[in-house]
Structure 1
Amino acid sequence: MNVHMWLLLVIQHCLFGEIRAKYPRSYEGQIREYLLKHANYSSMERPITGAASTVHVTIALQIFSMLDLNERDQVITTSGWIYMRWRDERLSWIPQDFGNITVMPISINEIWTPMIFLSNTLDSQSLNIISPERGGVLLDSNGIVSLGTPLIMSTLCPLKVQYFPFDTQVCAFRFLPSNQYADILYLSTLPARDVSDISSLQWSITNITAHNWTLAFRDFSPSIPIANTSVGVFCLFLQREPSYYVKTLMVPSSLLCIISFVAFLAPPDSGERISLGVSMVLGLTVFQLLVADILPPYGDQSPILSLYLSLNFGLTCLAMPISVLNIYIAYGDRRLMFLKYPTLRKLFLQYLPKAVGVLSYSERVGNVQNENSRHRKELEDPKVKDGSTPHILPTDDSHVYISPVEQIKLEARIVALVSDRIMFAVFLVGFFILLTVILVKFNGNPEILSDYCKQE
């Protein structure tokens, strides 16, 4: 060995010797060296000393905020924190021997950690929720390992949209160990903390429940035909805020339906009844498209709101041909056949007009006679034209003549007006009966639970 090599070794010894003297090894480093190096510790082995022992992992989920719930795709996105705790029988020390240190941080790669994934996730990053990139763990002197990691989860949440927008939904988060049956690793869930501070614009989170399940998987391995796997389930209970949809869907559609009935009160010769009905039909069609765009495709149980809008649409469409029929009656040039019966004639020309606030046939004939009499008097007395006092000629209004054509038109108009008023009342009563039935159906909204969220 030459002089240069000797000189290099001397310099290295002096430098590192000085560093060790100046910076002594910390108690945490001593604990890590004591646990991981001198005890033949392996992160590939389960944290037990007995072969038949089961590793019990406690898991808890704390939701911070609900970022989104896509009703169309039935996907919920939440941000939260996952807590895990288990005991590693090989990782314990006496605090008095290491400066009374009872808790120390340690890297995930250095110790055994359970392989747990979120089974109903739609994001590949959430499949394995334990990774070195998410942080480390805390190790207690008695071997208790505590892990807390943040996570943004996009999970599948099947929705029950029958009672939209007064619906309640339950979304489940299912945690399973990877390729480890219940005799090897068992998951125990802890109930979540207070959910009052969870933020969401459209939904209110009412509760989070924790459940433990054991599922049987067939053909797990050749030596284990049926293996029981422990599953930890957290159920998020959601209550929708319906005020937005009530103001933007239910109230406008109801008003459009009522306005379409008001067309019956317009005179048959106004010329705006058909255009008003068509406008209302188009407006209700727009609301139907809005609901179809919001909700996912549904199967057997259609939303009550869609049924309500469809019935409103049907009432509005039904009002149009009846309105056209009344216009046809009002402008008909043939005598109505049922008026040849005295009973029906009195009913439609005398009694019903008074009941619905329309001038009866006798009143209209009297008005026509008075108008004809006044016009005849003006023609016979020339002083009326120059503004002087008219001279009333003696006349008998009962003998004023009304042509058969005028009688037919007068009868048809009275029947059309009576029919309009009756149809307005019938459609309005039908609408309010429909609204009452829909409200009763909404009040019967049950709390629908998935199979995983029911108590065992």
Structure 2
Amino acid sequence: MLHAIINIEAYFSVAMKYFLCYLLCAVAIIFVLNQDVAEARYPMSNEALIRDYLLNQANFSARERPVLDSDDPVHVIMTMEFYAMLDLNERDQVITTSSWLTMRWTDGRLSWNASEFGGEDIVIIFMDEIWTPKVFIPNVLDSDSLSIISPERGSILLTSDGSVSLGTPLVVATQCPINIYYFPFDTQVCQFLIFAQNQHTEKLIYNSKTSFYRTLQSTDWTSSKITNHNHTFQIPDFATNLPVANVSASIVCIMLDRNPTYYIRTLMVPSTLLCIMAFMTFVAPPDSGERIFLSVSMVLGLTVFQLLVADILPATNERSPILSAYLTTTFVLAGATVPFSLVNINIAYGDSAILALKYRWLRKLCLDYLPRLTAVPSYSERIRTLHDETAQTNLTESSPNRNDQGVSLASLEKLVSRSEKTRIEARTVALVMDRLIGTMFIIAFMVLCIKTFIDFSGNKELPSDICEAYLL
């Protein structure tokens, strides 16, 4: 019995071995057949063959610079094509632009004979598969945009002669110092600094080119010029064995011209008219009840324009803008009309005689000569007019003939009360002062306008190479 059981176990053991052997053979056959079917169904394309031929070389490394001689630098040609200016925040001095950045260089290790691969001349590869230049914009405000080349955004075209073209879109916000002295007739220059990351000129050299896809325009700005400058910066303590290293950089500059039409229409013209209207208060008679109210209203209007300019322009310790100085001066001139008007009204309604008129020459000047010069009725004319009006009211024949110029002023003054003479003197002096002060204000305003025009005319054209002029 025991022997039979042993024979049965030996039989099952041998059978299990054969079963497992047949099973493994079947799996292997199925796997091979599937591979043959897959290879027959999905043959390798010429592009895949090229990628396998280039990237699977035994001595190829994506971390090495694309040069056959380690002493040679890599020459990278960079082209920056601007598409749009999304925003220019003058108060924060930030410009946001949209552009397309292209970098081209030659990698002698990545060339092939197109005729051997079905005439395929161009292939697309990923950025992490080959060496790419590491660049950044130091004056960018977004930390995520410091490194402008990233595998998520960039794509690479490789041609059979080993030419590599890397293209990536750029939407960056960079610092743009605003010079507001000539606002709103100003021209601004915004820089884009592109540096090689941890590569000195012995290893990497940049040459930049720039262009506009179309003219950059916004509500206030129009691009007029774009230039670039290839510069080499010296960085001390770059490395232990390089106490001073030259780093290649490209500086792209965009010149923007402001459209002043809006600011002329909404700031300069209204403020000028308000200032002139404030001066017109001296034309109104002193007994006009709206005179002070009109002056104060003009001052409040100019205050509003000052606030508008303050909201638009950035705070700066440099020279204040010409327009701000113009608005401030017009505000001071318009504000000065209020105390002068109050003084003249006080003179016109004064109950006591003006002490300055006790001097004969000053009395003659203020009551006789200056009224004629300023087209104001003189003191003598007012006395005669008052006497003639009184005579007509009383219908008396004893009063002097109003057309008789032989009657002396002294005789006519005797017929007028002292209080009436004081009132006429005060009114005459007040009107003369109104005309003189109003004329002085107008002359001062004209001088201000001429000075402002001369200051704005000093806005000279920028040099042809604005990057060279604004180089840091």
- TM-score, normalised to structure 1, is 0.92
**1:351 paired to 2:369:** yes
**1:288 paired to 2:302:** no
Displacement of 1:352 in angstroms is 1.9
Number of residue-to-residue matches in the alignment: 441
Q: Quick one: distance in 1 between partners of 2:218 and 2:25?
A: 71
> Unpaired segments of 5 or more residues in structure 2?
1-19, 402-406
Q: Quick one: distance in 1 between partners of 2:23 and 2:291?
A: 110
Q: Quick one: distance in 1 between partners of 2:31 and 2:437?
A: 106
Q: Is the 8 A contact 1:119 1:174 kept in 2?
A: yes
Alignment of 1:170-319 (within 5 A): 170-190=189-209, 192-194=210-212, 196-319=214-337
**1:454 paired to 2:469:** yes
The amino acid that maps onto 1:65 is A
Q: Deviations over 1:69-95 (max 9, x none)?
A: 111111000001101101112111111
Displacement of 1:394 in angstroms is 5.1
Displacement of 1:454 in angstroms is 2.8
Q: Is the 8 A contact 1:64 1:199 kept in 2?
A: no
**1:409 paired to 2:423:** yes
Displacement of 1:55 in angstroms is 0.6
Q: Deviations over 1:398-431 (max 9, x none)?
A: 6661001110110110110011011111111211
Displacement of 1:179 in angstroms is 0.7
**1:396 paired to 2:410:** no
Displacement of 1:321 in angstroms is 1.2
Q: Is the 8 A contact 2:83 2:214 kept in 1?
A: no
2:15 alignment partner in structure 1: none
The alignment-based identity, stated in percent, is 47
Q: Quick one: distance in 1 between partners of 2:150 and 2:426?
A: 85
Q: Quick one: distance in 1 between partners of 2:217 and 2:278?
A: 41
Q: Quick one: distance in 2 between partners of 1:29 and 1:136?
A: 17
- Of the three residues 150, 173, 180, the one matched with 2:169 is 150
**Match of 1:193, SS?**
strand
Greater Rg, structure 1 or structure 2?
A: 2
Q: Deviations over 1:134-169 (max 9, x none)?
A: 131100111110011111010011111111111011
1:65 alignment partner in structure 2: 84
Displacement of 1:320 in angstroms is 1.4
> Unpaired segments of 5 or more residues in structure 1?
378-391
Q: Is the 8 A contact 2:154 2:169 kept in 1?
A: no
Q: Is the 8 A contact 1:215 1:228 kept in 2?
A: yes
Q: Deviations over 1:322-380 (max 9, x none)?
A: 11111111111222223233332222222222222221112211111111112212xxx
Q: Is the 8 A contact 1:233 1:453 kept in 2?
A: no
Moved over 6 A (4+): none
Q: Quick one: distance in 2 between partners of 1:108 and 1:194?
A: 26
The amino acid that maps onto 1:366 is R
Q: Is the 8 A contact 2:86 2:96 kept in 1?
A: yes
Q: Is the 8 A contact 1:78 1:152 kept in 2?
A: yes
Q: Quick one: distance in 1 between partners of 2:314 and 2:374?
A: 46
- TM-score, normalised to structure 2, is 0.89
Q: Is the 8 A contact 2:101 2:168 kept in 1?
A: yes
Displacement of 1:194 in angstroms is 4.4
User: Cα distance 1:38–1:359, how it changes in 2: closer, same or farther (>3 A)?
Assistant: same
